């Protein structure tokens, strides 16, 4: 099932912790050896570090053997007020020599893509996402960004266009207001919670829009041995979700299935979901994710989860 597993490259942009070039290369080598051929990155991830590292690795591979996506909307520009600190306030342990500037205009989108290609050292990406318009201004983002993406697709600069968001409502609006090929939705269609199932997934299925499910572990909650000490949406885990996670784990244990294996495979059961995308900078975690994708999960497990009202 590795054709349905993508690699998300935020972690190799020093998300939350410093990662060496050697460790970043090693996890990418492990992903490639495991059969992963779909890679996603963004300028936002480490202020360009993720794109540079991913590009260094992918330039060693034949261009027609993998698919590559990056994102636009956040331009990376020099930080004229730099205080020689780090970007940890935004989650990345990198020097703060650049900052993000929101610009979903056609000129901004073109400039962002050109800069990404330069950092990657690769002449094209397959898919281009408008990144987090729900964070910076949804109305402006969709009004300017979606037509801009369509112009780049019409010009043959990319094959596919889409949005990458955390909000179901933002994704629904983007699908209705734009002519998209793909939606990347983070954390909203997982074993723990399924708000995307009500309107977004049926809409995407109706319109032939591919869905990529990311953050399928809900910020690591579904992959943690101790939910109470984990994170949820980058914060503390609400008590009711700790309880729900333990109930999910207990049902999985009855079938001798690990909770992370069920979590990584669950989104793929919906016909609208084409891939799950997971990211890590640790080779041990990458190997575990590959193994989770290979785990044979009996239908009885899903039926039991439904019977106990843990999934729809």
* Tens-place pLDDT, residues 275-289: 999 999 999 999 999
Q: How many C-alpha atoms does 301 have within 13 Å on its Cβ side?
A: 24
Whether pLDDT at 250 is above 70 = yes
Tokens (6 digits) for 275: 């891939």
Tens-place pLDDT, residues 105-161: 999 999 999 999 999 999 999 999 999 999 999 999 999 999 999 999 999 999 999
List phi, psi (to 5°) of 275. Answer: -145, 155
- CB of 207 closer than 8 Å to CB of 187: no
Q: Residue 99 and residue 77: Cα distance in Å, rounded? A: 6
> 220 falls in which pLDDT band (50, 70, 90)?
confident
Give the ranges where 6-137 is alpha helix by DSSP (H): 21-33, 49-58, 106-120, 133-136
CATH code, domain carrying 172: 3.20.20.100
Q: Note the pLDDT of residue 260.
A: 97
Mean per-residue pLDDT, 182-208? 98
Q: Do the domain assignments include residue 137?
A: yes
Q: Note the pLDDT of residue 295.
A: 97
Q: Do the domain assignments include residue 38?
A: yes
Tokens (6 digits) for 188: 């909203």
Q: Note the pLDDT of residue 231.
A: 77
Parent domain of 176: 2-307
48: left (phi over 0), alpha (psi -120 to 50) or beta: left
Q: Do the domain assignments include residue 52?
A: yes
Worst-scoring range by mean pLDDT, 97-101, 224-228, 259-263, 287-291? 224-228
Catalytic residue among 16, 39, 45, 266: 45
Tens-place pLDDT, residues 21-60: 999 999 999 999 999 999 999 999 999 999 999 999 999 9
Q: Do the domain assignments include residue 174?
A: yes
**Higher-pLDDT residue of 3, 228:** 3
Q: What percent of the chain has pLDDT over 70?
A: 100
Q: Do the domain assignments include residue 299?
A: yes
Q: Note the pLDDT of residue 42.
A: 98
Domain count, the chain: 1
* Catalytic residue check, 45: yes
**Contacts within 8 Å (CB) and 24+ apart, 235-240:** none
Q: Do the domain assignments include residue 312?
A: no
Worst-scoring range by mean pLDDT, 110-114, 170-174, 236-240, 260-264? 236-240
Q: Do the domain assignments include residue 236?
A: yes
Scan for tokens 């020097």, then name that residue.
Answer: 95
Q: Residue 120 and residue 48: Cα distance in Å, rounded? A: 9
For the chain, the average pLDDT equals 96
Whether pLDDT at 230 is above 90 = no
Q: Do the domain assignments include residue 76?
A: yes
């Amino acid at each position: 099932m590795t054709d349905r597993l993508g690699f998300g490259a935020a972690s190799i942009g020093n998300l939350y912790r410093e990662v060496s070039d050697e460790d970043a290369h090693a996890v990418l080598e492990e992903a490639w050896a495991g059969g992963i051929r779909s890679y996603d990155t963004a300028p936002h991830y480490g202020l360009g570090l993720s794109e540079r590292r991913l590009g260094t690795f992918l330039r060693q591979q034949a261009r027609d053997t993998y698919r590559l996506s990056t994102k636009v909307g956040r331009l990376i520009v020099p930080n004229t007020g730099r205080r020689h600190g780090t970007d940890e306030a935004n989650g990345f342990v990198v020097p703060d020599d650049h900052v993000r500037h929101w610009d979903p205009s056609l000129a901004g989108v073109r400039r962002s893509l050109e800069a990404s290609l330069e950092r990657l050292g690769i002449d094209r990406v397959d898919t281009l996402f408008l990144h987090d318009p729900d964070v910076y201004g949804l109305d402006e983002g969709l009004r300017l960004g979606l037509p801009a993406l369509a112009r780049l697709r019409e010009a043959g600069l990319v094959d596919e266009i889409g949005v990458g968001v955390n909000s179901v409502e933002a994704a629904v609006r983007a699908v209705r207001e734009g002519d998209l090929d793909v939606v990347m939705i983070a954390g909203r269609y997982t074993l723990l919670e399924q708000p995307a199932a009500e309107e977004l997934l049926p809409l995407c299925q109706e319109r032939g829009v591919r869905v990529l499910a990311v953050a399928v572990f809900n910020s690591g909650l579904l992959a943690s041995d101790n939910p109470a000490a984990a994170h949820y949406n980058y914060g503390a885990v609400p008590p009711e979700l700790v309880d729900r996670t333990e109930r999910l784990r207990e049902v999985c244990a009855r079938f001798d299935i690990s909770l992370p294996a069920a979590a990584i495979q669950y989104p793929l059961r919906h016909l609208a979901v084409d891939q799950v995308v997971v990211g890590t900078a640790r080779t041990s975690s990458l190997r575990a994710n590959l193994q989770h994708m290979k785990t044979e999960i009996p239908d009885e497990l899903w039926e039991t989860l439904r019977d106990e009202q843990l999934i729809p």
